[in-house]
Amino acid sequence: MIGQSQAPVGIESQDTAAWIYAVVDDPAAVPAGLLGVGHGPVGTVEHGGLAAVVGRLDLDRPPKHRADLVAHSKVLEELRNHGTVVPVQFGSVMEDLDSVRSNLLEDRGDELRALLDQLRGRFQYNLRARYVEEQVLSEIVRDDPEVSELRRLTRDVPDEAAYGEKVRLGELVNHHLEARREVDAGFLLDSVLPHTVAHVVKRTGGTNVLDAALLVEESRAEEFVDLLEDLAEGVHERMRLQVVGPVAAFDFTGGL
């Protein structure tokens, strides 16, 4: 049941365990010679048309460095480039390959197959928007006389002086930012959501307007990025748009 020649060697030995990267439904899509966390080989465990992508973990040296996070991420990116993938939460380790087979692939087979079907042919993009700070702050000063007055009172005083006024000024500015974020995030979402099949909006604050994970049909991905380009151009005086992707569907593993 262990996938061909790529199986991690010695994974069953006493002080090692199985590090889990992802679940795929096409083991042939796992590139040969793929290296993962700790430069260890990456292999597969198969059952019922599913393949768990695993590596050997030395329990004496658990991965906890940034390089491990990056290595894990690279494996996921390779997998995503070759097929549909359900990413497993970083840091998940099972006792051995048998346990991966029975407790993951067998016990949760139906769920995993359904999830793979939902994610097939779809890409995740992470969209973030942030204000051009000087621009939005200028708008706030212009629109609220109280902000403008507090600014006059606090701007040329020593750091420790006018503390109360400074806090009040900042609080007001924060309040205005909140209101603006709601409007602007709403506008951005209204523009992009018709082009997505699912989305997750994350909490933001300050000058960060929007942070959202968007699931997009692969066939419409190009058109989607073009739309973002146009949107970014349209709002560029007030906001900067950034998109990361396609990435593995990390934000959609709970089903759509």
Partner 1 sequence: MTTQSQRRAGGYLERPAPSGLADVVEVILDKGLVIDAYVRVSLVGIELLTIDARIVIASVDTYLRFAEATNRLDLYEKGGQSLTEAVGDLQEGGAAKKTSGVVKGAKKALTGGDDKPRARKSSSRQRESEDA
In the set 24, 34, 169, 215, which binds partner 1 (CB under 8 A)? Answer: 169
191 contributes a contact to partner 1 by CB under 8 A: no
Rounded to an integer, what distance in angstroms lies between the CA atom of residue 90 and that of residue 97?
18
Min CB(221)–partner 1 separation in Å: 12
Please give the Cα distance from 169 to 134 (Å, whole number).
Answer: 16
Q: Are 118 and 220 in contact (CB under 8 A)?
A: no
CA distances 246 to 11, 159, 194, 250, Å, are 32, 45, 18, 11
Beta carbon nearer to partner 1, 138 or 219? 138
Q: Does residue 115 bind partner 1 (CB under 8 A)?
A: yes
- Among positions 10, 39, 110, 134, the unique one binding partner 1 when judged by CB under 8 A: 134
Residues 26-65 that bind partner 1 (CB under 8 A): 59, 62-65
Closest to partner 1 by CB, 48 vs 170, is: 170
Kindly state whether residue 218 participates in binding partner 1, applying the rule CB under 8 A: no
Taking CB under 8 A as the binding criterion, the range among 2-10, 93-101, 191-199, 215-223 that sits at the site for partner 1 is 93-101
Both tokens of 212, joined, read 């959202």
**Contacts with partner 1, 139-168, as mask; x by CB under 8 A:** -xxx----x--xx--xx----------xx-
**Least separation in angstroms between CB 40 and partner 1:** 14
CA 45 to CA 2: how far, in whole Å?
A: 5
Segment lying near partner 1 (by CB under 8 A), choices 25-33, 39-47, 191-199, 226-234: 226-234
C-alpha distances (whole Å) from 103 to each of 46, 47, 89, 100, 175 are 12, 11, 16, 6, 49
Neighbours of 19 (CB within 10 A): 30
